[in-house]
Structure 1
C-alpha cells in the first residue's frame, strides 16, 4: 500500500458541507479563513482570488479547481472595484445547498465544499501542502479527477438516498486527486513525506517504513533499501525531509499509534507492540515526548476537547 493510501486507509472526512453559489456581477466575498479544507470548482464564468501569501491575484476560469487548506484567508471577486461582502453575510442567503447573491449582472457559478479531517490525521496531510492549490483545467486533469467532479455535480444537483454520505466520500476522492495533481507537478515545491515519495531514491524507504513501522529499522537497513551508502543516505534524507531517518521513523510510529488509540480497542500494551516498542515504558516515554501527552491521556480525549499534539511527518 502506497503512502497516500496508508494515510487515507479509512474515511477521514467529517462535517462535509456543499454549496452551489451563483454570483452575479458585481460581487465579492472576503473570508478570514476557518479550520477546514475548502474546495471550489468554477463551473462557469470567471473570478479573481487573492490570499495574504499570494504575490499577485490568481485568475480563475471555467473548469478550474482551487483548494484552501486549514485556516487560509482569501478574497474572491469578479472585479477589484467590487464591494467585498463578509462570507458570514453571504451565507445568510443560503436556501438548502444554494446561494444566489450579487448585482444581477453576468453570473459566475461555483460548486464548493468544505470538510474537516480527523484531528490526529491533520498534520500528516496538511503539513506537506501549501495553503492554496490552484488546479487549472488546462493542465492535464486526469479522467478520474474529472469524473469525481462530474459525480459531485450529479449528487448535488438532484440529491438522492444517502447523498450526504456519497458527497463526503467524493470529497475525499477529490482531495486525493488534488494531492496527486500537486505531486505530479514538477514545478511545485514539496516537503515532508510528499517530498520523499517524489524522490526516486527515498520513495522505497518511505513506503517500507509506512508498510512496517514495527520493524527494527536501522540506518544501514534503510540505506540498503535506498540503494545508497549509509553516510550518503543519512545526508540526503535530512536534506529532503529536514529530519533524520530515525526521527521520521519515530514520528510515523507515533502517528500509527495515535490512530490505533483512537480507532481501535487494542490495549496500550498492544498498541506499543504494533508501533514497534518492546515495553510500555519505552512507548509511553516516546509518545509523551512527541505529543506532549501520554497514550492514556490521548485515548481519553478521543479527539474531543483541547488539541493534542501530533507528530509532524
Structure 2
C-alpha cells in the first residue's frame, strides 16, 4: 500500500453538514473563519475568493473547488464593490439546506460543506497540506473526481431518502480526490512526505517504511531500496522531507503505535509491531515524541475530532 493510501484509509468524516446557496448579483459574504475542513464547490457562475494569506484574490469559475483546512477568515463575492454580508446573517436566510441571497441579478450557485476529521488520523495529512487548496476545473482533474463533484451537486439540488448519509460519503471521496489532484498537479507539493511521493526513488523508501515499520531499517538498507547511494539518499530525503530518514521512521512508528493504543492491544505487542524489542524501550521513545506516556495516551481514550494544526 502506498503511503498516501495508508494514511487515507484511516480518514473518516464526522459531523458533515452542507448548504446549497443561490447568490444573485450583486452579492458578497464574509466569514470570520470556521473550525473544521470547509469547502465550496462553484456549481455555476463565477466568484472571487479573498483570504488574508493570499496576496491576490482568487478568481473562481464554474467547476472550481476550494478547500480550507484552518480557521482563516475569508470573503467570497461577485465584484470588489459588492456589499459583504456576515455569515451569521446569511445563516438566518436558511430554509432547510438551501439559502438565497443577493440583489436579483445573474445567478451564482455554490455547494458548501464542512466536516470533522479525527485529530490523530488526520495529523500527517494536515501537516503536509497547505491551509487552502484551490482546485481548478482543467485537464488535470480526473474523471472520477469530476464524477464525485457532479454527484454532490445533484444530491444537494434534489435531496432524497438518506441524503445526509450519501453526502457524508461523498465528502470523504471529495477529500481523497482533492488530495490526489493537489499531489499530481504541476504546482503541487515539492516538500514533505507528499513531495517525496512524487520522487520515484524516495517513494520506494517511504513505501518500504510504511509497509514494514517494525523492520530494523537503516539508512543503508533504505538507500538500497531507493536504488541510491547512502549519502545521496540521506541528503535528498532530508532536503525534500525536511527530516532524516530515521527521524521520519520514528515519527511513522509513533503514529502507528498511537492507532494501536486506541484498541486493546497489549503494550508489549504494540512495541513489537512498531519495531521495539521491549515495552520499556518503546515507552521511552513514545514519551519523547508524543510528550505523554503510552499509558496516559491510552487512558485519555479516543482522540477528539480536530482540524488543521492539530
Give the TM-score normalised by structure 1. 0.93
Kindly state the Cα deviation for residue 305 of structure 1 after the two structures are TM-superposed: 6.6
Residue 66 of structure 2: aligned partner: 66
Residue 289 of structure 1: aligned partner: 288
Separation in structure 2 between the aligned mates of residue 3 and residue 306 of structure 1, nearest angstrom: 22
Whether 1:229 aligns to 2:200 is: no
Residue 242 of structure 2: aligned partner: 242
Separation in structure 2 between the aligned mates of residue 160 and residue 212 of structure 1, nearest angstrom: 44
- Number of residue pairs matched? 308
Separation in structure 2 between the aligned mates of residue 74 and residue 55 of structure 1, nearest angstrom: 13
Residues 168-179 of structure 1 mapped to structure 2, 5 A cutoff: 168-179=168-179
Residues 57-96 of structure 1 mapped to structure 2, 5 A cutoff: 57-96=57-96
Separation in structure 1 between the aligned mates of residue 295 and residue 165 of structure 2, nearest angstrom: 32
Give yes or no for contact 2:14–2:115 (8 Å, CA) kept in 1: yes
Kindly state the Cα deviation for residue 11 of structure 1 after the two structures are TM-superposed: 4.2
Residue 141 of structure 1: aligned partner: 141
Any gaps of 5 or more consecutive residues in structure 2? none
The 1:86–1:140 alpha-carbon spacing in structure 2 relative to 1, beyond 3 Å, is: same
Give yes or no for contact 1:128–1:190 (8 Å, CA) kept in 2: no
Deviates more, 1:40-49 or 1:267-276: 267-276
Q: Please provide the CA RMSD for this pair.
A: 1.9
Give yes or no for contact 1:119–1:303 (8 Å, CA) kept in 2: no
Residue 127 of structure 1: SS of its match in structure 2?
Answer: helix
Structure with larger RCO (C-alpha < 8 A, sep 6+):
2
Give yes or no for contact 1:234–1:245 (8 Å, CA) kept in 2: yes
Kindly state the Cα deviation for residue 306 of structure 1 after the two structures are TM-superposed: 11
Residue 55 of structure 1: SS of its match in structure 2?
Answer: coil
Any gaps of 5 or more consecutive residues in structure 1? none
Separation in structure 1 between the aligned mates of residue 132 and residue 303 of structure 2, nearest angstrom: 28
Residue 134 of structure 2: SS of its match in structure 1?
Answer: strand
Task: Output one character per residue of 1:156-196: Cα deviation in whole Å (capped at 9) or x when no partner.
Answer: 33334433222222111111111111111122343321011
Deviates more, 1:165-174 or 1:50-59: 165-174
Task: Output one character per residue of 1:83-133: Cα deviation in whole Å (capped at 9) or x when no partner.
Answer: 222222212222221111222222210011111111112221111111111
Separation in structure 1 between the aligned mates of residue 72 and residue 6 of structure 2, nearest angstrom: 26
Separation in structure 1 between the aligned mates of residue 274 and residue 88 of structure 2, nearest angstrom: 44
Residue 110 of structure 1: aligned partner: 110
Deviates more, 1:150-159 or 1:43-52: 150-159
Residue 33 of structure 1: SS of its match in structure 2?
Answer: coil
Give yes or no for contact 2:3–2:206 (8 Å, CA) kept in 1: yes
Give the TM-score normalised by structure 2. 0.93
Kindly state the Cα deviation for residue 69 of structure 1 after the two structures are TM-superposed: 1.3
